[in-house]
Amino acid sequence: MHRYIGVGTASTKEVEKKLLAHSRSHWKSDEVDEKAHLKHTPPATPNSHHTSAAQASPNTINKTRNKTNKRKVSKQHKLTAYTPTKRVRTFTEKITDNIKLPRRTEDHNFIDKNQARQPGRTPFKPFGEHKSTMASQQNKESSMQKLLEEEKKKQQTLELAFATNAQPEDEPSNEPESEEDILARKLNSLLTLRERSMIYMIDHKLHHDQVSREMSSQLITLTTDEMMEEIIREEVLKHLPQVIYENMLREVSQAIVQEQHSFTPLGPEKTRTAVDLVSRPNSSQVICSAFGIDMKRSDLACLRRTEWLNDEVINFYLGLCIERCDNSLVPVPKCHFFTTFFYTKLVEKGSYNYANVRRWTKKVDLFSKDKVIIPIHLGVHWTCAVINLRDSRFEYYDSMGGVERGKQVLKDLQKYIQDECKDKKNKVLNTGGWEMYVPDRYSIPQQENSHDCGVFACKFADFLSRDLDLSFKQSDMAYFRNRMACEIMDKRIYQ
């Protein structure tokens, strides 16, 4: 009879208790059977080796009772001597065939019989048979692995035989091959070998062509790089001295510019000389003559503070700028300066007239210059305009921010340079794409009074002719007035 003990979530201890109770009931049934056997034992025959209790002697009866008692004591001793776990294990080995126990899981809990019978799960094995079961399982796995390997080898052999149209080694043909079959098989082998040889040759050729293209590309790249390096090296060696010279000149010019930006003081002696030169407005004494102008003390008197500059002082100072540009030791733009009367003559009576100034450039080629600087007199205000031939643009600088007036001045100068090119070069100069640069009052220095516009115009011309930033301001005008007086007297512009 099959029994299920410990089914469900029963613990190990509960199973052991049930097994122990079952064993005790079995032992009690054995004792009852023995007692019944003793009571119903038939009387012994004279020839029998055994004697009954009625016919036996008292000694014999006592011996029998002692044996029975010893048997009871031994069974009780077994019950009390063994621990429950050890007794359960011993009994389990005896009743394995009659009792189905659930297997153990990883968390040492029992599962029910339905879970034990699910596919893929290892069935429960008795404790005594665990090692033998593991060994048999390993043997099964090794045998299965060998079978799989043999099947795999057999499949590979069949595939190879199918590829080469040959008979498999495992399944040799019992029928003898005819000469035609042998010839066909050999011919098929030759064709297969030839096909493989052709495929190999084609692959080899393609690989060779690819390697050749890659090597050719690398060779061309290396050769091109070497040629470019050689060309660059030659150009550098050719132009390096010139570059070094230009860099040196640039450094010197920057140093000079820095010194000029600092506006080196004239010194006490020069300052006293300047004050003396401008302090006699009624004197007709000629201080110096140049550029067709006799500079008198009365003309220099306009360099006093709060005085407006006149045409003689501005034209004389611009003449000094021309000499400085022609004799400069540092690279400066090639500039031509018109006098203060040029623009007035160009727009005489309020209308543009090129004929009035046509002969002003009879000895000068304006198109060989970088800049043409023109002082502009607008009745009671001085400004400065530039025809920048180098950068292809027209520029207008006003210390009072006259933007609209500047646009009109530049339109007149645009017409002038076109007419000049047509008259002197017999060419049409297209200035439609030239820039009209008219900065506002926030982009260039501005005067803060009504009498320094002439000094601002002269300094605009001075700084622009040397490509310097317009770094001066209103507070520098007193210094520039004294410096201009000394420069006019010495007939040179200080560095």
User: 453 catalytic, yes or no?
Assistant: yes
* Distance separating alpha carbons of residues 167 and 184, to the nearest angstrom: 13
Residue 78 is encoded by which pair of tokens?
């077994």
Residue 352: phi and psi, rounded to 5, are: -70, 135
Q: Where are the alpha helices (DSSP H) in 107-178?
A: 113-116, 130-164
* Distance separating alpha carbons of residues 254 and 456, to the nearest angstrom: 23
* Distance separating alpha carbons of residues 91 and 22, to the nearest angstrom: 10
* Complete edge-to-edge strand list for the sheet that includes strand 435-437: 335-337, 371-377, 382-388, 393-397, 435-437
Active-site residue, selected from the candidate residues 302, 453, 458, 486: 453
* Distance separating alpha carbons of residues 61 and 180, to the nearest angstrom: 103
Active-site residue, selected from the candidate residues 22, 112, 370, 381: 381
Active-site residue, selected from the candidate residues 398, 452, 458, 486: 398
375 burial (CB, 10 Å; 0-12 / 13-18 / 19+) is: buried
**What are the residues facing 295 on neighbouring strands?**
288
What's the distance, CA 61 to chain centroid? Answer: 109
- Only one residue has tokens 């646009």, namely 407
Q: Do residues 397 and 439 touch, judged by C-beta distance below 8 A?
A: yes
Q: Strand runs (DSSP E) across 321-434, as ranges?
A: 335-337, 371-377, 382-388, 393-397
User: 377 catalytic, yes or no?
Assistant: no
User: 381 catalytic, yes or no?
Assistant: yes
Residue 172 is encoded by which pair of tokens?
């040799």
Q: Give the residue numbers annotated as catalytic, written as ranges.
A: 381, 398, 453
